Chains A and B, each alone.
Chain A
Amino acid sequence: MTIEVKGVSKSFNGKKVLDSFDLNIEEEHSYIITGASGCGKTTLLRLVLGLDKPDEGTVKLLGDYKYPYINAGVVFQEDRLCEDFDAVTNVTMVSRKIYKENAIRELKCLLPEEALYKPVRELSGGQKRRVAIVRACAIPSDVLIMDEPFTGLDETARQTAIDYIRDKQGSGPLVITSHDVTGLGFGRIINVERR
């Protein structure tokens, strides 16, 4: 599967955020989208996910892809977790294919056990981020898309999270946006310039 982003432009309130942007997201490749705040990184991911429509250009799924939409595991810029429920529930709720035992095993890779059964609202920012990462990786998907997934993580936790994501990537493409590219040398760095 290839996601073809071709000549994409997007403006908000008359301000152009992306201008004729091109990118081919191919299988088994990793893409690190970087750039200053407000340069359009999140906008690009929203266009790829189909949450926004481009003003110009196209986002297409090429190849023998069986769905009309992208089957993606996503870490959003905000955690977008159900705050009243625990980490395990937040992971299992997104798909019937994720069993509780699997969710617990995956969460234990990034979180201390005592954090698994507390309502998410009681977790720290970094712990919530890790729950969001596990949720994205646990769901069977064709592409992993992560918007600033390492926000709030210290150096060690960040590296553990990077290793975890790499391990779960499989053959699908991985797209990460990040201000800081430390430890992300495995991917193709794409710098989005501010308009």
Chain B
Amino acid sequence: MKSKSFITKMLVPVAAWLVIWQLVAMAVHNHVLLAGPIDTLNALVRLSKEQEFWSSVAGTTLNILLGFLIGTVLGCGLAMLGYFKEIVGDFLKPLVLAMKSVPVASFVILLLIWFGNRNIAVVICALVVFPVLYLNTYEGLCGTDVKMLEMAQIYRIPAFSKIRYIFLPQLHPFLRGALKLAIGMAFKSGIAAEVIGQPLHTIGNGLYQAKIFLETGELFAWTIVVVIISFICEKILMAAVDCIRR
């Protein structure tokens, strides 16, 4: 039943979209304007034979995941501090709200001016992920049942148990949603930062080169690689979050 559901819910729609894509590409009949799935697959096979491709994929993925980790730890940690110490929460609120709205491009240009393009994806991902995790964690903590906190106070429940049994179940849906959103945003913003900043041996650089040489097939191939890595990371992350809850 499960495999049937996977076929009807996942494989069939994907196959349908691939067919539509190929038909549109055939109708356009211009490889520069729109490369079809077959051209994209050819470009992907060609790229995958190069050492540069694999080092770019590994480098970008590691940078983005490192930035994501830093942003998550800072976001969750400071949200907890802000929840328990009101003065910290009040102090951070304007900064977080501002960070949420500042365009990624503004951050990237500023960082390029200040520090150059080294590790730009790490910093940008952290900056993008931080407000998402901060706001969701803070909101989750504020929604904690006061009656449960009173119970914990009366029984003087140890801090670890309080986190494990009261705060984590409360935070779980907020964290799950925030992490799912943030991992996608991390890949989008990290790669945008690489395209603007042009650090060598990165996916962003590969996309930029594809644009320069009007290699639409390669552009799509790099994009598909990013989508696949982002999808895998999201699935692993969600499994880890659900595992922590259990």
Given known pairs A49-B154, A96-B158, the reply for A80 and B147 (CB within 8 Å) is: yes
Given A82-B165, A82-B169, A94 contacting B157 (CB threshold 8 A): yes
Q: How many angstroms from the CA of A109 to the CA of B150 in the assembled complex? A: 27
Docked-complex contact B147 and A72, CB < 8 angstroms: no
Partner of B151, one of A80, A84, A85, A89: A80
Is B148 in contact with chain A by the CB < 8 A criterion? yes
Give CA–CA (A80, B150) in the complex, Å.
Answer: 9
Contact with A along B206-246 (1 / 0, CB 8 A): 00000000000000000000000000000000000000010
CB pair A93–B151 under 8 Å, yes or no, is no
Flag if A72 contacts B165 (CB, 8 Å).
Answer: no
Interface size range on B against A? 10 to 19
Closest to B154 in A: A74
Contact B151 A76 (CB under 8 A): yes
Please state if A72 and B154 are interface contacts (CB–CB under 8 Å).
yes
Point out the residue from B147, B164, B169, B245 that lies within 8 Å of A76, measured CB to CB.
Answer: B147
Candidates A51, A78, A89, A95; contact of B155 at CB < 8 Å = A95
Alpha-carbon distance A72/B153, docked complex (angstroms): 11
Please provide the chain A residues from 81 to 118 with a CB less than 8 Å away from any CB of chain B in the complex: 82-85, 89, 93-96
Output the residue of B157, B164, B165 with the most chain A CB within 10 A.
B165
List which B154-179 residues lie within 8 A (CB) of chain A.
Answer: 154-155, 157-158, 161, 164-166, 169
Contact of A80 (CB < 8 Å), options: B148, B161, B164, B169: B148
| With known contacts A80-B147, A82-B148, A51–B165 Cβ distance under 8 A | no
**Number of A-B residue pairs with CB-CB distance less than 8 Å in the complex they form:** 36
Whether B154 contacts A51 by the Cβ 8 Å rule is yes
Residues of B with C-beta under 8 A to A93: 157, 161, 164-165
Is B169's CB under 8 angstroms from A78's CB?
A: no
Chain A hits for B154, CB < 8 A: 49, 51, 72, 74
CA distance A94 to B147 in the complex (A): 15
Provide the residues of chain B in CB contact with A96, threshold 8 Å. 158
How many angstroms from the CA of A74 to the CA of B148 in the assembled complex? 13
Instruction: Determine if A85 and B165 form an interchain contact, defined as CB atoms under 8 angstroms apart.
Output: yes
Nearest-neighbour CB distance to chain A for B143, whole angstroms, equals 15
User: Knowing that A74-B155, A80-B151, A89-B165 are A-B contacts, what are 18 other residue pairs whose CB atoms are under 8 Å apart, sorted by A's residue number?
Assistant: A49-B154, A74-B151, A74-B154, A76-B147, A76-B151, A80-B147, A80-B148, A80-B150, A82-B165, A82-B166, A82-B169, A83-B169, A93-B161, A93-B164, A93-B165, A94-B155, A95-B155, A96-B158
**B residues in contact (CB < 8 Å) with A:** 147-148, 150-151, 153-155, 157-158, 161, 164-166, 169, 245
Closest 9 CB pairs of A and B: A94-B155, A80-B151, A82-B165, A84-B169, A93-B161, A93-B165, A74-B154, A80-B147, A94-B157
